Structure 1
Amino acid sequence: MLARAHRVRSGSDFRETMRRGRKTATPTAVVYARSGEETAPARFGIIVSKAVGGAVVRNRIKRRVRAICANVAPSIPAGTAVVIRMLPAAAEVTWDTLREQLTTTIRRAVNA
């Protein structure tokens, strides 16, 4: 579980990160990353639309993405906001594939 301080919570933060952040993509997700104040911790926001699947599928994907974000968070620079928009293909991939793709994509978006 991501601590409250490590979550993007407001709609305006989601919009700003998606509008002004760097974008990278995989078949399962689109990742946006934007640098911010270095006094704040790295923050993550997750978007999983109904196009991905039913409630059970969407919640499973969100749990997996939160676990991946918690593992990646220590290596992300302070003040960085990351928004992850999951695509319908995410419902079909295994845990290992999702973890590998997202970890690589998040690091690529942050370091680009």
Structure 2
Amino acid sequence: MLPAGSRLTRRDEFASVVRRGRRSGRSRLVVHLHRTAEGDCGRRAGFVVSRAVGNAVVRNRVARRLRHLVAPRLRQLPPDALLVVRALPPAAGASSAELAQDLDGGLRGALRKLSGARGE
């Protein structure tokens, strides 16, 4: 499970990551990754699962799977990383393994774009 201190909770945090972060899309989800200024609180993640994904039961299931998948991967991100994972409608019928595959691919793509933008 994702600890409370590792979650994005405020709307302006989500908006900032989506607007300023690097995006990498897959068939079932889109990953937005942003690095904050040094000194901000560490790695945090948030999830966007809209009504387009399905009814409340389906949305909660998708969000729960994504939280479970992101928790161990969060430690692999830079210490000042903020992550938003946005589920797309095909995520409703996806298995956890398929979501994990898309998440890993999205994180690799976003990290590559982030590193290229910073010249690392």
Q: Which SS does the other structure have where 2:45 is aligned? A: strand
* Distance (whole Å) between structure 1 residues aligned to residue 83 and residue 98 of structure 2: 20
Give the drift of 1:95.
1.4
Q: TM-score, normalised by structure 1?
A: 0.93
Determine the structure 2 residue equivalent to 1:67: 68
Unaligned runs of 5+ in 2: 114-120
Based on CA coordinates, which of the two structures has the bigger radius of gyration? 2
Q: TM-score, normalised by structure 2?
A: 0.87
Matched ranges for 1:33-112 at <5 A: 33-39=33-39, 40-112=41-113
Calculate percent identity across the aligned residue pairs.
Answer: 35
Q: Which SS does the other structure have where 2:8 is aligned? A: coil
Q: What RMSD over aligned residues (CA atoms) do the two structures have, in Å?
A: 1.2
Return structure 1 stretches of 4+ with deviation > 2 angstroms.
37-40
Superimposed CA distance per residue, residues 16-64 of structure 1 (whole angstroms, 9 cap, x where no aligned partner): 1111110110011111110014442211010000110011111110110
More displaced stretch, 16-25 vs 91-100: 91-100
Check conservation: 1:34, 1:82, Cα contact below 8 A: yes
* Distance (whole Å) between structure 1 residues aligned to residue 38 and residue 5 of structure 2: 13
Unaligned runs of 5+ in 1: none
Give the number of equivalent residue pairs.
112
Check conservation: 1:34, 1:110, Cα contact below 8 A: no
